Amino acid sequence: MKNMDNPIQKSLKETGSSEDKEIQELSENEEDLKKRMGEERLIWTLCLIILFNILFLRDCQNWSLPILIGILELFLIITLGQRLNINFISVFIDKVLEVVKK
């Protein structure tokens, strides 16, 4: 007996493979969208930090408080970038760790 598929089975196989391709494309689009949303969140956070610095730190009597807050903000930005899976933050951290290890 020949092992030939009938037209309905061929159609189902083709439909299944096109659905698999569509599912793969949608999952790739979802990953890209999540990455872009993470980058946008980081940008908005940076804008709010800059606004905070302009509004509240311009009248400081000395530079010690703005420098201390700036260092804390830098750690906040790095941590947020890692949690949002922003690539350039990871590359930056890797380069800093290379310099520190030397």
Give residue limits of the domains in the chain: 7-101
CA 50 to chain centre: 21
Query: pTM for this one?
Result: 0.62
pLDDT in tens, 44-72: 999 999 998 888 888 888 888 888 888 99
pLDDT in tens, 1-16: 455 556 655 555 555 6
Nearest to 49 by CA among 78, 26, 22, 29: 78
Which stretches within the chain are classed as H helix?
Answer: 7-56, 64-83, 87-101
Q: Is 65 in contact with 56 (CB distance < 8 Å)?
A: no
The yes-or-no verdict on residue 81 having pLDDT over 80 is yes
